[in-house]
């Protein structure tokens, strides 16, 4: 498989805290410290001559509706050539810690709107990342009732929009089976550094980097 | 990774119709025509000198409770060295076509009982296969409410018992994103031949065969 | 060697029970559980983007004359781009179990008619598979008197029609020398699963798949 | 696969004209100019430090009965560590050009006697080579009636004695399908030089030389 | 070269802001977002079974004297098996922005004291990282007067203590020659993400990871 | 290096007994049993689709003057595309066993005439093979006085005519240093089979066959 | 990376004693015995068909001003296609042994003049080699005050002129850390043979030779 | 083939000007600038941890008798573990430029004495290098009368003493055939740098370095 990103391409990471990872909002090109940054950094060190620009507009705590609200500014206006999205775990989490759920229809409506605008207004390529969860601490197990249907929605949209798909939830489950979930994501939601590196490698392979 | 199965090993495939695949019940060593048979055949052609015996006791329509009921006869009595289990989709399906659900607790109790007996009475190695579903036809999407928690139970048990884990659901989702779900499983449950071959390759790699 | 089958190609397996292997006649694209299915499945999982269609019209018990009788319907009408044929063991077997032999001239006339129609009416590519027999049980040895000349006819036609040729009889003989014939074909005629996988690998290599 | 022949081993080629190939009878270590010589020469140039001795006692025109008659002198007395045998085509040929057939039972009795003596008196390793025939000129086709059963006997003995087996007849048939039989054996019996080299490569691979 | 770090090893990164990279001081195992974190994350994802613990005690703004001051607490007390040190650029920088230079003798005395304690009290392995600087903005060029002698001290100590040495300054100079310094370190001191990834790869190769 | 011989090429081996090796003069395409035949056979088995024709017109006992005498008939008339020549040892030998030397000037005049005709009348490619000698039996050592200058002539002509050159004398000397000369050429002149295979491999490599 | 030097290219090594290495001034194509000669020799043995001409005009004791003085004659007049320069250590050394320093501005003015002429009058490619120093004997350490700023000038010019850059100083530091500086350069300035070979390999890799 | 030289080994190059190549006699470890130095340098840069010591005692103009005269001092006293000898061209040359020939018997007696002492007094390993000559200028051709018998003596001694043998004369002849002799040795005796590198590579391969 050849490299997806051509010379001068702009690649946008969108998502929540897992993508955000403490990025500095005052800086338009700060990438945080997570998988997005790791993947972008590795790519940039290996292919300096491609001069690919990576942007991160992940916002901690964001849900799909937040992406919708800031899509004009945080996606369309940036004119990316590729958009990578990892969103959904907070649509789930808020239901459990704040009693503020995102109904599945709304989740799908939000997510589809994001993709539709990317396709219709930008014609950009899409990389959809599977939301994931590991069962630590114990209460995370209850969240599956809300998360699992949302994973299905993302898969469904990936097929509908012909997106590349990164099946993070299964990758984490397989890695955790013979090690432990805490090793990969201590709170079940936010990957450890090993977890972010695991994600970065899967993401890089999806876009054609031989790592 | 080296080959898991030693010379003379007995490897048992257990499961439902996806494992069964039309195997002839009158013959104790018939393997059906699905992933179990493909994986076993390929292994046997490559390593005849290992003289590994593969058994299939998948029974079409089976649920976890059915495995429990026939475990003494269809697992313990066979004295396998390795047990590979793919079960759960019928625990889900019966709820929708027959109004006969398997509560999650019962699913887990059943599944744990299977594993406990394997470990305590046989000391055999375990390979747990993730139940999976693709969204064709449309009604399958509704099944996720029931299936997804069961997938979580299998992952949880894999961690608990130190089993090898094959994340079939994510593998199918990724493959389907840029082709189509029907290509891999026309009715969403039963893999096409391409789907079974996809499973056989993932399974063989899990046990150390370089394919 | 590059892959023989181009995108969208239709590949037809024709033959008897070894090809048939329990395929469901009610379904036009059922492939049975034997070498034809294994080869087709493996190919389809490796090259989904080629969208190759594999058809199996093997009919258990068939002899060359049966292929001739159903060639219009079961070959020409299907408009295959490639035709793979494995036929002949029943032309032999019927002589011994039913006193109903197929004289060699008739065998050749039948077989040539099949190939001529493929070439003249379809212009399709040809893959001829050598009929084979292993000497279990003992009575199979007597069949060689009838089978061996038919193998010669198939080789002769392969040369005449410039077909690819898969020398199954020698491959089985070599494999059986240091293992045992029963391991590869318990009744000498119908391959074991290991035998079918051995065939699938040889067939796939013949058409350019690196397995 | 590792090299079969240890340092100082003595390897004896036995057979008829295809093995003989004009070897000088006055010289005990002359190897003729055919596959036996080619294989031995290549091996000796690659592994001089093994100091393997190759002997050829192929005698043009020989049949199994001739091998029996000279086995004490031309095999046992030479104390080989490995014996490679290619015999049978003259048992067939004499029937057609001289009306002097070798009945199958006699062929098998002769051949078994050779192998029994090798095993019981020498304990040497065995490499059995399949007799072969290509259909040029036309009359050779008639010989198959006699040759094919003899090929079956050789395969049967290979299994019985746990010998390595080189399936020459299928190898020639496959090579001839898309070139022409004359290229590989102009008179159908005696290989061309290309045919002898094809044999030498198959034989060397059988004994573990990576060519 | 084999992997330096054995199972259960504790690896400590020490240094200044380039190592620190925003690590959370409240968390003893936070690694920041720079080369230290990238290298540690990649290692942990590739070798989970080694269960290596990586610690970062880089402190933004630190000079060698600061390391000395907190060495007992931030190194010795942590009982690392390997210590990787990247220090010195602030010993230089303070001279220019605050008129607070670190004389070379003091720099060396401080640095040697760090290494001596590691060797004598811990017996741990050492990885010394070359301080580096790229000439952007222009004023950085003036700093070389102060930095270059300090680089010599680090090299000298690496030889004295038999440490592994990572020549970052040359690596950056080579990379910058045909791209641009800003690409790798926009302010000449703090690497871009591409710069940190370049460092992580060089560091990982030094400890035996094939990246 | 790519294969020198194109499809349909005619390659002529010329020389003395080492090339001749008992070829049947009555047959225009007989190749003897030596290096010429081994190289030709191996090439033909590997590249049947090239349909290269190899001819041998080596004549035992021949000297350069004999080649000149029969060059019209045995080279030019055959219209080869490539000519490989190994001649000279008999120009030497006759001096010692018959008192019939070939003066060096005559040797060179003869050899140049051969090459000139090939170049001017055929425009064919040239492969010049170094005459060689091993010091067994002892008397061969005396022949060096005569042979060595002739080797120089061949090297000189190779440079003059831009021929490919195969340095057989050095290859044999190197092989013999740690084995023994007799192993490679029992009488010092005529290679053993191992010697011929050593030559065939060097010759094949020279024309671009990866052996 | 592909080979930088095309057929017939002229490559000029310029520098001081490290480049000079005892070359014979009376011979315009003498290359001395150092890295320049080793790199040129290795290249010429591997790629004779490129007919690349290597010239060495290194002059022992030279400083940048000496290069300027003889640039017309020793560079421009030679019309090289590529110019490789290693200069600077004597600009430093003279300051310490003769009280005759080269001010940095003069160093840079000299060096830029060299490069400007190469670019403007020849349009040739540039390979800039980093001056280097190892700390033996002890007094060399003092030279760093003068050398280090000059290294910065070379790096700066490499960026300005888009030259290939060989970071020798870091390469020597890394090699010396776990061996000893004397092994690579006994007097700290002039490499040992191992040091020259280390340089030759780095230089060859920079120009695309896979060593 | 594994590396011949163990840790701490002392390897002595002996010979004439081709080995000497301007080495500084005042320095016991100077290696000149030729093949000996190139091979030693490359080895030392690749395997610093072996700490192999290379010595060169080649003396320009030396003949075998000179080696004998200084063998006690220049070989035995140095206690080498391996001795590589390239001698003989001056035994030839002096005959032609000074009327001072070395009779063959004397050459052999001298050479054998060298080897005998190495074997009996040191037990060291031997690498014998073939003297060589290229035919430029023209008069060199006359020298062959004297040189060629001496080459035979070296080969004979290599066999007698079980030495490794480097067939330089053939290697140069082959290289020169399609380039030109001047490219490899402008005066026919002293290799060009390309020639020395060609020698160094052949020598390094002989002692097990993969170049």
The parent domain of residue F172 ranges over: 10-206
Q: What is the pLDDT of residues C37-90, one digit of tens each?
A: 999 999 999 888 899 999 999 999 999 999 999 999 999 999 999 999 999 999
Chains that contact B by 3+ CB pairs under 8 Å? A, C
Provide the pLDDT for residue E158.
95
- Reduced to 3 states (helix: H, G, I; strand: E, B; else coil), residue C75 is coil
Bridge partners (DSSP) listed for residue B166: B129
Is the CB of residue F144 less than 8 Å away from at least one CB of chain H?
A: yes
Provide the pLDDT for residue H146.
93
CA pair distance B130, B143, nearest whole angstrom = 15
Q: How many CB atoms lie within 10 A of CB H66?
A: 17
Q: What is the pLDDT of residues C49-64, one digit of tens each?
A: 899 999 999 999 999 9
Q: State the Rg of chain C over Cα.
A: 16
Q: What is the pLDDT of residues F69-97, one digit of tens each?
A: 999 999 999 999 999 999 999 999 999 99
Nearest residue in chain B measured CA to CA from A128: B177
Q: Which percentage of chain H shows pLDDT scores above 70?
A: 100
Structure tokens at B110: 């059943």
Is the CB of residue E176 less than 8 Å away from at least one CB of chain A?
A: no
Mean predicted confidence (pLDDT) in E138-150? 91
Q: How far apart are the first and last CA of chain F?
A: 12
Q: H45 contacts in G (CB within 8 Å)? A: 194-195, 197-198, 201
Mean predicted confidence (pLDDT) in F12-25? 94
Q: Would you call B174 and A166 a contact, using CB atoms and an 8 Å cutoff?
A: yes
Q: What is the pLDDT of residues D60-108, one digit of tens each?
A: 999 999 999 999 999 999 999 999 999 999 999 999 999 999 999 999 9
CA pair distance B132, B174, nearest whole angstrom = 12
Q: D196 contacts in F (CB within 8 Å)? A: 41
Instruction: Quote the minimal CA–CA distance from H152 to chain F in Å.
Output: 8
Provide the number of CB pairs (under 8 Å) joining chain G to chain H. 63
- Reduced to 3 states (helix: H, G, I; strand: E, B; else coil), residue E166 is strand
- Reduced to 3 states (helix: H, G, I; strand: E, B; else coil), residue E50 is helix
Q: Which residues of G are catalytic?
A: 17, 187, 190
Q: Cβ(B87)–Cβ(B63) under 8 Å?
A: yes
Instruction: Quote the minimal CA–CA distance from E19 to chain G in Å.
Output: 21
Chains that contact C by 3+ CB pairs under 8 Å? B, D
Q: State the Rg of chain G over Cα.
A: 16
Q: Cβ(B10)–Cβ(B23) under 8 Å?
A: no
- Domain assignment present for D19: yes
Mean predicted confidence (pLDDT) in E95-119? 96
Q: Would you call F193 and D32 a contact, using CB atoms and an 8 Å cutoff?
A: no
For every residue of D84-126, DSSP letters joined together read: EEE--HHHHHHHHHHS----HHHHHHHHHHHHHHIIIII--EE
Mean predicted confidence (pLDDT) in D17-42? 92
Question: Which secondary structure element, helix H or strand E, spans residue H66, and what is its range?
Answer: helix H64-69
CA pair distance A5, A164, nearest whole angstrom = 13
Nearest residue in chain D measured CA to CA from C127: D177
Q: Would you call E155 and G177 a contact, using CB atoms and an 8 Å cutoff?
A: yes
Work out whether the CA dihedral D18, D22, D28, D29 comes out positive or negative.
negative
- Domain assignment present for H5: no
- Domain assignment present for E5: no
Instruction: Quote the minimal CA–CA distance from E30 to chain G in Å.
Output: 30
**φ, ψ (nearest 5 deg) of residue G32:** 70, -160
Query: How many H helices and E strands in chain G?
Result: 10, 5
Is the CB of residue A42 less than 8 Å away from at least one CB of chain B?
A: no
CA pair distance D203, D188, nearest whole angstrom = 20
Q: Which residues of H are catalytic?
A: 17, 187, 190
Q: B195 contacts in C (CB within 8 Å)? A: 45
Contacts of G105 (CB under 8 A, 6+ apart): none
- Domain assignment present for D130: yes
- Domain assignment present for F36: yes
The domain spanning residue B20 has which CATH number? Answer: 3.40.50.1110
Q: Would you call C49 and B183 a contact, using CB atoms and an 8 Å cutoff?
A: no
Instruction: Quote the minimal CA–CA distance from E131 to chain G in Å.
Output: 12
Q: Which residues of D are catalytic?
A: 17, 187, 190
Work out whether the CA dihedral F33, F37, F39, F41 comes out positive or negative.
negative
Mean pLDDT for all residues in chain F: 94
ipTM of the complex: 0.89
Structure tokens at F26: 């009555």
Q: What is the pLDDT of residues A51-91, one digit of tens each?
A: 999 999 999 999 999 999 999 999 999 999 999 999 999 99
Q: Is the peptide bond before A61 cis (omega within 30 degrees of 0)?
A: no
Q: What is the pLDDT of residues A152-208, one digit of tens each?
A: 999 999 999 989 999 999 989 988 987 889 999 999 999 999 999 999 999 998 898
CA pair distance C121, E41, nearest whole angstrom = 63
Q: Would you call D41 and F193 a contact, using CB atoms and an 8 Å cutoff?
A: yes
Is the CB of residue A193 less than 8 Å away from at least one CB of chain E?
A: yes
- Domain assignment present for E2: no
Contacts of B197 (CB under 8 A, 6+ apart): B35, B38, C41, C42, C44, C45
Q: Cβ(G32)–Cβ(G23) under 8 Å?
A: yes
Is the CB of residue C116 less than 8 Å away from at least one CB of chain D?
A: no
Q: G40 contacts in H (CB within 8 Å)? A: 193
Q: Would you call D197 and F41 a contact, using CB atoms and an 8 Å cutoff?
A: yes
Provide the pLDDT for residue B102.
97
User: Is 70 exceeded by the pLDDT of residue B1?
Assistant: no
- Reduced to 3 states (helix: H, G, I; strand: E, B; else coil), residue E91 is helix
**Largest Cα–Cα separation, chain A:** 49
Q: Which percentage of chain C shows pLDDT scores above 90?
A: 82
Q: D21 contacts in F (CB within 8 Å)? A: 33
Q: Which residues of C are catalytic?
A: 17, 187, 190
Q: A148 contacts in B (CB within 8 Å)? A: 144-145, 148-149, 151
- Reduced to 3 states (helix: H, G, I; strand: E, B; else coil), residue B102 is coil
- Domain assignment present for A124: yes
Please state whether at least 3 CB pairs lie below 8 Å between chains D and G. Answer: no
User: Is 80 exceeded by the pLDDT of residue B107?
Assistant: yes
- Domain assignment present for C176: yes
Q: What is the pLDDT of residues A7-24, one digit of tens each?
A: 999 999 999 999 999 898
User: Is 70 exceeded by the pLDDT of residue E1?
Assistant: no
Chains that contact A by 3+ CB pairs under 8 Å? B, E
User: Is 80 exceeded by the pLDDT of residue F42?
Assistant: yes
CA pair distance A85, A57, nearest whole angstrom = 10
Q: Would you call C193 and B22 a contact, using CB atoms and an 8 Å cutoff?
A: no
Low-confidence ranges of chain G (pLDDT < 70): 1
A17 a catalytic residue:
yes
Catalytic residue among F16, F17, F81, F91: F17
How does H109-143 read in b/e, with b if 16+ C-beta sit within 10 Å? ebbbebbebbbeebebbbbbbbbbbbbbeeebbeb
> In which residue are the tokens 């593998």 written?
B171
Q: D175 contacts in F (CB within 8 Å)? A: 48
Instruction: Calculate the alpha carbon distances from G131 to C164, E180, G128, G153, G154 in Å.
Output: 65, 21, 9, 11, 8
Instruction: Quote the minimal CA–CA distance from H195 to chain G in Å.
Output: 7
| Burial class (CB within 10 angstroms; exposed 0-12, middle 13-18, buried 19+) of D181 | buried
Q: What is the pLDDT of residues H55-89, one digit of tens each?
A: 999 999 999 999 999 999 999 999 999 999 999 99
Please identify among residues 89-108 of chain H the ones whose CB lies closer than 8 Å to any CB of chain F. Answer: none
CA pair distance C134, C173, nearest whole angstrom = 7
* H48 closest CB neighbour out of G41, G49, G194: G194
Is the CB of residue G29 less than 8 Å away from at least one CB of chain H?
A: no
- Grade residue C29 by pLDDT with cuts at 50, 70 and 90: confident
Instruction: Quote the minimal CA–CA distance from E123 to chain A in Å.
Output: 28
Provide the pLDDT for residue D91.
97
Considering the entire predicted model, what is its pTM? 0.71
Please state whether at least 3 CB pairs lie below 8 Å between chains F and D. Answer: yes
> In which residue are the tokens 């789930």 written?
A92
Q: What is the pLDDT of residues A196-206, one digit of tens each?
A: 999 999 999 88
Looking at residue B187, the DSSP 8-state letter turns out to be T
Provide the pLDDT for residue B208.
84
Q: Would you call B194 and C41 a contact, using CB atoms and an 8 Å cutoff?
A: yes
Is the CB of residue G67 less than 8 Å away from at least one CB of chain H?
A: no
Q: Cβ(F117)–Cβ(F76) under 8 Å?
A: yes
Q: Which pairing describes strands H82-86 and H125-129: parallel, antiparallel, or unpaired?
A: parallel
Nearest residue in chain G measured CA to CA from E160: G177
Provide the pLDDT for residue A48.
87
How does D4-27 read in b/e, with b if 16+ C-beta sit within 10 Å? bbeeebbbbbbbbbbbbbebeeee
* D45 closest CB neighbour out of F31, F49, F197: F197
Q: Cβ(D184)–Cβ(D177) under 8 Å?
A: no
Q: Cβ(H51)–Cβ(H5) under 8 Å?
A: no
Question: B48 or F143, which is more confident?
Answer: F143
Which of A170, A202, A191 is closest to A20 using CA atoms? A191
Catalytic residue among A17, A62, A146, A169: A17
Structurally, chain G folds into a number of domains equal to: 1
Instruction: Quote the minimal CA–CA distance from G177 to chain E in Å.
Output: 4
* E44 closest CB neighbour out of A49, A197, A211: A197
């Amino acid at each position: 498989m050849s490299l997806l990103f051509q010379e001068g391409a702009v690649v946008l990471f969108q998502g929540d805290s897992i993508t955000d990872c403490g990025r500095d909002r005052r800086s338009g090109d700060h990438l945080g410290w997570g998988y997005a940054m790791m993947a972008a950094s590795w790519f940039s060190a290996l292919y300096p001559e491609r001069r690919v620009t990576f942007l991160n507009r992940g916002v901690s705590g964001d849900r799909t509706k937040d992406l919708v609200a800031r899509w004009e500014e945080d996606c369309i206006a940036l004119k990316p050539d590729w958009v990578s999205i990892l969103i959904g775990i907070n649509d789930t989490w808020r239901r459990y810690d704040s009693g503020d759920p995102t109904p599945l229809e709304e989740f799908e409506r939000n997510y589809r709107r994001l993709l539709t605008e990317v396709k219709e207004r930008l014609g950009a390529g899409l990389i959809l990342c599977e939301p994931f969860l590991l069962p630590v601490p114990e209460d995370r197990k209850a969240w599956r009732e809300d998360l699992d249907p949302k994973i299905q929605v993302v898969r469904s949209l990936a097929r509908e929009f012909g997106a590349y798909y990164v099946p993070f939830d299964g990758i984490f489950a397989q890695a955790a089976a013979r090690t432990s979930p805490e090793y990969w994501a201590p709170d079940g939601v936010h990957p450890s550094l090993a977890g972010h590196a695991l994600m970065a490698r899967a993401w890089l392979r999806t876009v054609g980097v031989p790592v």
